[in-house]
Structure 1
Amino acid sequence: MKFISWNVNGLRAAVKHDFAETFKKLDADFFCIQETKMQEGQLELDLPGYQQYFNYAERKGYSGTAIFTKHAPLDVTYGINSDEFNHEGRAITLEYPDFYLVTSYVPNSGAGLKRLDFRMGWNKAFYQYLTELDAKKPVILCGDLNVAHKEIDLKNPQSNHHNAGFTDEERQDFTNLLKAGFMDTFRHFYPDQTDIYSWWSYRFHSRDRNAGWRIDYFVASNRLADEIEDSKILTDVFGSDHCPVELDTKLPRPMI
């Protein structure tokens, strides 16, 4: 099965451009979206063959996630079982017989790290949620996780040290998640690949110069390693300041 994850930086804006064409071309079993920036009723999507699930932020035009899937889930969970962090539409979980699929738009620590404490609280609650799921069945996590884990994962690590997404605290938390039984699937296949990113600032022609960050991930339970065929970053897809990321697996299509 094919999984796609994409921070579209506003789904209504993306639909006005090439979203429909990209969606059809990628033909994924699961298409996960972050930063929808919309409320219920603001957009009708015609996606034949797909079930649609949205988690909206209470604040208008902010955050938000969605999953479009060809496969009906056993159950759907919105949020991460923590009321403090469930007001911004940042996570959706679909349960299947053999795995959980979680998509998330992880909070950004913000300019001057003004939301770093909130982000660290989110990390603690979110990682507990993921490990509790993993104790039941394997997990596939995807989304904009808002952290470049290693220096290899951004163009200018020295000048960005201590900036949002590349603080020691955020990076250590991600390390701790991996140590708890998860893998960064892209680095599983391409441990030393440089100069490949998933987000570029709209400023300073960053994408033209490939001055980017790898902050969009597929993370999976270690015991799924034999089921994963490839993990890709689709840098040739435009329409957002992020590009999609892809996970190709040998997992059987759910029979529900």
Structure 2
Amino acid sequence: MARLMKFISWNVNGLRAVVKKDFDKTFNDLDADFFCIQETKMQAGQLALTLPGYHQYFNYAERKGYSGTAIFTKHAPLNVYYGIQSDEFDHEGRAITLEYPTFYLVTSYVPNSGAKLKRLDFRMGWDVAFQQYLANLNKEKPVILCGDLNVAHKTIDLKNPQTNHHNAGFTDEERNSFSHFLDQGFMDTFRHFYPDMTDIYSWWSYRFHARDRNAGWRIDYFVASNRLADHISDSKILTDVFGSDHCPVELLTDDI
């Protein structure tokens, strides 16, 4: 795999819905080595995708029409792991890990804290378990994590930080947890390249014409082990791709 590689991550807000909105064209145009999906909202057998040249891996939530993740890749992994090795958190299909000789790829749809923060405690428990899971992987070999991490880390990562303070995805608890995670040897790859870029987001509410007004949040990430920094050539947010309330994010690497 000693060549430029492209990683894509996209919360599609329902895979069965997005296939009706030119998903095939978007998928083929992006031509990624690794195409990671969050919020598939489906069960096994509900959709058959024809993706020549790609291995397909799905993790389904037990609850129908909810959560779920998938990875489509041109590169057969050594091993595939579903969940984060926690019985408390592995019922919602929120993570898939692919193991390769020199790195792990993890995609995740992190729990949303919900209206009135009714799931904040569950979310914070997830963060503890997930960060420990990633730390254990990172001890073995470098990690590339992607997905909808459901947190806008800094005030520049959402349009209206003042009015959204203490709302799900922008609580002090979630933001501090993400800071703690990065301090354990990981980097937010987009901010690595574009530390001060403003007004670029990956999610917009369907309400109030938010995308037209670019009133969004940056909650979709590629996070990588710090020791991969020299191998990463760019990290992008593909705001011109439609079909979901999220847009895809992209990571480009050389030989890992």
Common fold by TM > 0.5: yes
Q: 1:116 aligns with which of 116, 120, 136?
A: 120
Q: 1:72 aligns with which of 70, 73, 76?
A: 76
Q: Which amino acid aligns with 1:78?
A: Y
Query: Which residue does the alignment assign to 1:249?
Result: 253
CA distance in 2, matches of 1:30, 1:69: 4
Q: In the comparison of the two structures, how many residue pairs are matched?
A: 252
Query: Which residue does the alignment assign to 1:11?
Result: 15
Query: Which residue does the alignment assign to 1:138?
Result: 142
Q: 1:54 aligns with which of 52, 55, 58?
A: 58
CA distance in 2, matches of 1:33, 1:141: 12
Q: Kindly indicate whether residue 88 of structure 2 is the aligned counterpart of residue 84 of structure 1.
A: yes
Q: Deviations over 1:14-61 (max 9, x none)?
A: 001110000000000000000000000000000000000000000000
Q: Kindly indicate whether residue 216 of structure 2 is the aligned counterpart of residue 208 of structure 1.
A: no
Query: Which residue does the alignment assign to 1:23?
Result: 27
Q: Deviations over 1:108-137 (max 9, x none)?
A: 000000000000000000000000000000
Query: Which residue does the alignment assign to 2:155?
Result: 151
SS at match of 2:8: strand
Shift of 1:76: 0.3
CA distance in 2, matches of 1:52, 1:203: 33
RMSD, aligned α-carbons: 0.4
CA distance in 2, matches of 1:17, 1:233: 19
CA distance in 2, matches of 1:8, 1:164: 20
Q: 1:162 aligns with which of 166, 175, 198?
A: 166
Q: Which amino acid aligns with 2:66?
A: Y
Q: 1:40 aligns with which of 37, 44, 52?
A: 44
Q: Deviations over 1:173-206 (max 9, x none)?
A: 0000100000000000000000000000000000
CA distance in 2, matches of 1:18, 1:244: 14
Shift of 1:251: 2.3
Unpaired runs of 5+ residues, structure 2, are none
Q: TM-score, normalised by structure 2?
A: 0.98
Q: Which amino acid aligns with 2:135?
A: T
Q: Kindly indicate whether residue 105 of structure 2 is the aligned counterpart of residue 104 of structure 1.
A: no
Unpaired runs of 5+ residues, structure 1, are none
Query: Which residue does the alignment assign to 2:201?
Result: 197
CA distance in 1, matches of 2:218, 2:255: 26
Q: Which amino acid aligns with 1:145?
A: L
Q: TM-score, normalised by structure 1?
A: 0.98
SS at match of 2:217: coil
Q: 1:186 aligns with which of 190, 194, 197?
A: 190
Q: Kindly indicate whether residue 178 of structure 2 is the aligned counterpart of residue 174 of structure 1.
A: yes
SS at match of 1:142: strand
CA distance in 2, matches of 1:42, 1:16: 14
CA distance in 2, matches of 1:167, 1:86: 24
CA distance in 2, matches of 1:250, 1:228: 6
Q: Which amino acid aligns with 1:228?
A: I
